[in-house]
Chains A and B, each alone.
Chain A
Amino acid sequence: MEGSLAKESGFREILPENTMRTLVPQVEVPREVKPAPPRYRNEIAKYIIRRGSNCTLCGKCVQVCPYGVHVLKTGYKLFAAPHLNVCVGPSCRKTDHYCIDICPKKALKMVENPMLKAMGDYRWTPDMIMATWKMAETGESPSPEYGYEYETGASGGGFDRLRFKFPEKPPIELREDEIDIGIVLNRRDDGRPQVKIDVPWYGGGMSFGSVSNVVQLSKARAAVAFNTFTCTGEGGYMERMKPYDDHVITQIATGLFGVREETIQRVRIVEFKYAQGAKPGLGGHLLADKVTHAVAKMRETVLGISLFSPFPFHSVYSIEDHQKHMDWIKHVNRRTLISTKVSTPNDVDMVAVGSYSAGTHIVHLDGGYGGTGAAPDIAKKNIAMPIEYGIVKVHRFLEQEGIRDKVTLIVSGGLRTPHDIAKAIALGADGVVVGTSELVALGCIRCSRCESGRGCPRGIATTDAELAQGVDLEWGTQRIINLYSAWRKELIALLKRFGMRSINELRGRTDLLMHLDYTNDVETDT
């Protein structure tokens, strides 16, 4: 970590004397890429190699494969299960080590893994999931030879139909260390601390209850490593989160579960969640099975009873009410910034301007196609607009109102890759919030069963003690650090191609985008 921002901002020194907050030594986490191999024995691969019965165990395939796909252990008369996840597939054909052609008995056959059909969905294709796993494992984007088409999904619209128009060569040659992808979160000049994060994203709110505490802590530790933030979601502030206070956003949502003055005083950013994109207008859901003893205690509720956060805040019916809310928090914590999280209805531009005028530092738009927790299917698909529209709408209106540079526009709701992040910024956002990608890095396969029974069978979105053991804290931290690192490199490479020194130069540059479904012949202002 490049210095403690907490110290830079003098955060601790000017806390009110009557603070209820207990100071806890803050933990440093190195921003270091280390291999974090998959935690399952059989990693899912894009291609599988079938070995015929005419194999003579000559071992030629073992000798030629530079990736170590084939495994024939000394003294064994049979091949062990191949390491298919490192196989690069048909792209290997052009090389001199293509096992399929080299096998003297032609006993090997390569096919695309039929299981991929059962994996992923239109938004998160199997390629995108596997590429995210690779990034989380290695800290690098997967080599093109793997053939993963992971920059876009298959949803047929929005980010998936947008492409960058790169110049043939960069207008200026920049070294990577000259490129800054950090963003500032306080543009109000209101005497509150300036907070700059080193990457243009932070982690989305996932409460303890919706995910395990190991997952929350892994996110928090990765946030420390990249000098960014993670969010507690609506469910209280775990004791174990306190060593990461300086990188935690705590959320005040309509249920006020776990909200205390002490927790508000802990953090540098407090987020008001008015709505969330996956279920706008409906409030949060935590179904009974996931309300374990620990969750109930933290939320001060009853074991095994479903928790429904109401919608809306029953104390907020106007921008003036919203301002009073913010005043309350600003009074309780005189150093904190305020983020206002709203969904993307048709009037989202008005909401954003109203929220700015009420005093928010960050307007956080959460579009309809994201979300990690339980939501009614009818809400996920059908209420409010996708984030791609919301970004442009709000960015335009903030510009028209002359306040674009006084507020930080953060967006979320279906951003999956660094390419989505860059597109969102080019459409007009300052930065983004990510959530699902972090979970995919931890092994989520998007089976959508986060809400039922004991929760996530992959041990991520669960409070079940046994299932949660599937994710180790060190491993989880490293996987997210690796993912972030790969993303950071991708974004820097993208800015380098445009000859941009800062990601802020990309904001609103829709002239650098094209849409595959349009004539793209409009002259746009930059």
Chain B
Amino acid sequence: MPKKYHIETKKVAPRLPKIGKFGIVDWHEDCARCHNCVKKACVYDRYRQEMEYIKDLDEFNAMFFECMGCFSCVQKCTKGLLALTVNPEYERMGNGYFTPDIILTTWNQAETAGIPVSGAGYRGKFTGTGFDSMWTDMSEIVRPTRDGIHGREYISTSVDIGRKPKLLSFEDNRLATALPPLVDLPAPIIIDIFPEKYQFSHLMPMLLAVAVKTGTMMIVGWEQNGLLGADKEKHLSNIIFYLGKDTPLPTPEILKKSRLIEIADNNKTEQRIKEIKAVNPELVVAVRVELDSHGKERSIELARNPIIEVIHIVSDMNGNQIGAEKPEFIKDMTRHIHTSLVKSGIRDEVTIIASGGIALAEHMAKEIICGADVIAINMPLLLALECRFCANCRDGFACPAKIENITAQYGIGRMTNLIAAWHDQLIEVMGAMGIREARRLRGETGRALFFDDIEEEIFGRLFGKRIRV
């Protein structure tokens, strides 16, 4: 049995006080000094921790820490002086897509590398948009022979990137088909280029270190290769250089040592691939296609070209179609492309990497079910560093999370923890689905339930036409 893929993790404490969801408002002035203070009895010991923090306060910060919102102190205070509220700073975090809840769970995973666990059932909406409009499915009949992340059996998350031959031919009992080059990854996740306004040069070596530590790869603009640090040459197998439309080719030495390279799609895509292949035919070339109004059809068109090995489809950071008034979501666009290629009988010949809008581990699993082979992430890694998604940096203002000050140990640890937590969660849902290989999860919509379909099947038959979408 091959060695089990495992990411070494270690708890990495936050640098800043967490922006918790809840905060206690304390009306000191009416306190009766009854000495029965319920704060002493806080199950979580939060008040004492808060006082310890305030003793060494080195900056102005909110009093909101890790109140768990249990209301016990509020309800026990002899004079009813305490009130619980939702922390307004918490509510201000993120945007409509990267919600405060997503940010907080990302911080926790980056700290502990643990799978988020909570009690009291599901608390959210019945359904939603985007990835919230589908469920993964499990089976009571098709028995998975595994015990999840705690079990004894191996669930493989390995994937291959590259073109695969449609069929193999043999002559004289020998393989006669020339096998195209393939890049294998231990998990279906790579690190994507960060949007221009969110690029931090000092993070580049850390991202590379994370890619090395987790055995995955990072995409980085060739123009930025100088930022990768002195060890860059040693780790070329973990780097995917991205070449924009007018970016000159890297040196032949780099091309020969690399495993995968990505180019921007344009009218000279085929020619560019030929130039690269001329230097190193074993180098896998991915074509980055923006999912704008032509993105889906362009991806399908590219996939039909036998020279194309990998298509990297990219939506905006919230998963939306780029530049569209009524944008489609990444999962739906991926599903369209995947289904079209399946119908054409060529799906297995190309690899699809998808990025944009993948904010949680569940999104990774769902995007793969919708047809991606591999997903690429960027913003969640920034969140792992206690980014609040405030966009100050985008607008040229100071970063409240002081991303510019992080140490390598902290940055590498937190981002590695996040990827490890996502990997474990992928195994959890794959285990529940009874799927033992990430390769087989791809496009496996038989292991998914889509809200529109099941509503129609169950309620459409009972109540007529759906009038609220």
Partners in one complex: yes
Interface stretch (choices B196-204, B370-378, B383-391, B459-467): B459-467
A376 touches B116 (CB 8 A): yes
A457 touches B125 (CB 8 A): no
CA–CA, A380 and B60, complex, Å: 38
Contact of B464 among A279, A376, A520 (CB under 8 A): A520
Which residues from 40 to 81 on chain B have a C-beta closer than 8 Å to any C-beta of chain A? 43-44, 68-72, 74-80
B140 touches A447 (CB 8 A): no
| Known contacts A42-B77, A374-B118, A518-B466, A342 near B85 by CB under 8 Å | no
CA–CA, A41 and B138, complex, Å: 45
| Known contacts A282-B148, A382-B136, A449 near B68 by CB under 8 Å | yes
Min CB gap B171→A, angstroms: 42
Contact of A376 among B83, B86, B115, B449 (CB under 8 A): B115
B75 touches A44 (CB 8 A): yes
CA–CA, A314 and B63, complex, Å: 50
CA–CA, A447 and B73, complex, Å: 13
| Known contacts A41-B80, A281-B431, A386-B126, A378 near B141 by CB under 8 Å | no
A383 touches B119 (CB 8 A): no
B123 touches A446 (CB 8 A): yes
Determine if A332 is an interface residue (Cβ-Cβ < 8 Å): no
A382 touches B362 (CB 8 A): yes
What does the 1/0 interface line of B104-119 toward A look like (CB < 8 Å)? 0100000000011111
| Known contacts A373-B119, A377-B118, A312 near B126 by CB under 8 Å | no
| Known contacts A347-B141, A378-B428, A467-B43, A122 near B125 by CB under 8 Å | yes
Determine if B143 is an interface residue (Cβ-Cβ < 8 Å): yes
Which residues from 129 to 149 on chain B have a C-beta closer than 8 Å to any C-beta of chain A? 135-141, 143-144, 147-148
Residues of A within 8 A of B361 (CB): 378
Interface stretch (choices A24-32, A86-94, A499-507, A509-517): A509-517
Contact of B122 among A157, A381, A453 (CB under 8 A): A381
CA–CA, A278 and B135, complex, Å: 13
A157 touches B462 (CB 8 A): no
A385 touches B135 (CB 8 A): yes
Contact of B75 among A42, A348, A384 (CB under 8 A): A42
Which residues from 462 to 515 on chain A have a C-beta closer than 8 Å to any C-beta of chain B? 467, 510, 513-515
CA–CA, A517 and B458, complex, Å: 13
Min CB gap B49→A, angstroms: 13
CA–CA, A382 and B68, complex, Å: 24
Min CB gap A123→B, angstroms: 6
Residues of B within 8 A of A522 (CB): 461-464
Residues of B within 8 A of A123 (CB): 121-124
B44 touches A372 (CB 8 A): no
| Known contacts A44-B75, A351-B140, A519-B464, A382 near B121 by CB under 8 Å | no
Min CB gap B181→A, angstroms: 34
B434 touches A519 (CB 8 A): no
Min CB gap B362→A, angstroms: 5
CA–CA, A81 and B79, complex, Å: 7
Min CB gap B189→A, angstroms: 15
Which residues from 417 to 469 on chain B have a C-beta closer than 8 Å to any C-beta of chain A? 425, 428-429, 431-434, 449, 454, 458-468
Determine if A370 is an interface residue (Cβ-Cβ < 8 Å): yes
| Residue of B125, B126, B143 ringed by the most chain A CB atoms within 10 A | B126
Determine if B242 is an interface residue (Cβ-Cβ < 8 Å): no
Min CB gap B102→A, angstroms: 11
Q: How many residues of A are counted as interface, with CB atoms below 8 angstroms from the partner's CB atoms? A: 98
Contact of A379 among B76, B83, B119, B432 (CB under 8 A): B432
Determine if A237 is an interface residue (Cβ-Cβ < 8 Å): no
Min CB gap A346→B, angstroms: 5
B462 touches A524 (CB 8 A): yes
B140 touches A378 (CB 8 A): no
A121 touches B123 (CB 8 A): yes
B44 touches A457 (CB 8 A): yes
A383 touches B121 (CB 8 A): no
B462 touches A513 (CB 8 A): yes
Determine if B22 is an interface residue (Cβ-Cβ < 8 Å): yes
Which residues from 374 to 425 on chain A have a C-beta closer than 8 Å to any C-beta of chain B? 374-386, 388-389, 392-393, 414
A374 touches B77 (CB 8 A): no
Contact of B72 among A121, A157, A457, A519 (CB under 8 A): A457
Determine if B346 is an interface residue (Cβ-Cβ < 8 Å): no
Min CB gap B13→A, angstroms: 17
Interface stretch (choices A12-20, A112-120, A241-249): A112-120
Determine if B150 is an interface residue (Cβ-Cβ < 8 Å): yes
Q: What residue of chain B has the Cβ atom nearest to residue A254's Cβ? A: B147
B121 touches A414 (CB 8 A): yes
Min CB gap B136→A, angstroms: 5
CA–CA, A114 and B24, complex, Å: 12
Determine if B127 is an interface residue (Cβ-Cβ < 8 Å): yes
Min CB gap A44→B, angstroms: 7
Determine if B84 is an interface residue (Cβ-Cβ < 8 Å): yes
Determine if A436 is an interface residue (Cβ-Cβ < 8 Å): yes
Determine if A4 is an interface residue (Cβ-Cβ < 8 Å): no
Determine if A184 is an interface residue (Cβ-Cβ < 8 Å): no
| Residue of B74, B122, B459 ringed by the most chain A CB atoms within 10 A | B122
Determine if A266 is an interface residue (Cβ-Cβ < 8 Å): no
Residues of B within 8 A of A42 (CB): 74-77, 80
What does the 1/0 interface line of B259-291 toward A look like (CB < 8 Å)? 000000000000000000000000000000000
Residues of A within 8 A of B141 (CB): 347, 350-351, 354
Min CB gap A398→B, angstroms: 15
A40 touches B76 (CB 8 A): yes
Residues of B within 8 A of A158 (CB): 126
A384 touches B137 (CB 8 A): yes
A115 touches B74 (CB 8 A): yes
A458 touches B72 (CB 8 A): yes
Determine if B120 is an interface residue (Cβ-Cβ < 8 Å): yes
CA–CA, A179 and B224, complex, Å: 77
Determine if B151 is an interface residue (Cβ-Cβ < 8 Å): yes
Q: What residue of chain A has the Cβ atom nearest to residue B451's Cβ? A: A157
Q: What residue of chain A has the Cβ atom nearest to residue B124's Cβ? A: A122
A275 touches B140 (CB 8 A): yes
B144 touches A281 (CB 8 A): yes
| Known contacts A122-B123, A520-B464, A347 near B140 by CB under 8 Å | yes
Determine if A252 is an interface residue (Cβ-Cβ < 8 Å): no
Residues of A within 8 A of B136 (CB): 382-384
What does the 1/0 interface line of A340-364 toward B look like (CB < 8 Å)? 0011011110110010000000000
B22 touches A118 (CB 8 A): yes
What does the 1/0 interface line of A39-54 toward B look like (CB < 8 Å)? 0111110000000000
Determine if A451 is an interface residue (Cβ-Cβ < 8 Å): yes
A274 touches B140 (CB 8 A): yes
| Known contacts A40-B76, A278-B122, A447-B68, A342 near B454 by CB under 8 Å | no
B143 touches A317 (CB 8 A): yes
Residues of B within 8 A of A282 (CB): 148, 428, 431-432
What does the 1/0 interface line of A317-332 toward B look like (CB < 8 Å)? 1000000000000000
Given contacts A155-B126, A383-B137, A393-B458, 14 further A-B contacts (CB under 8 A): A275-B138, A282-B428, A308-B147, A312-B140, A369-B121, A380-B122, A383-B433, A388-B458, A446-B123, A449-B70, A457-B70, A515-B462, A518-B459, A519-B463
List 6 tightest A-B contacts by C-beta distance, closest first: A450-B119, A157-B126, A281-B432, A518-B463, A40-B75, A121-B123
Provide a sorted-by-A list of 10 A–B residue pairs whose CB atoms are within 8 angstroms.
A41-B76, A119-B84, A122-B124, A157-B126, A371-B122, A385-B137, A414-B121, A447-B71, A448-B118, A513-B463
* Residues of chain B whose beta carbon lies under 8 Å from any beta carbon of chain A: 21-22, 43-44, 68-72, 74-80, 83-86, 105, 115-127, 135-141, 143-144, 147-148, 150-151, 360-362, 365-366, 425, 428-429, 431-434, 449, 454, 458-468
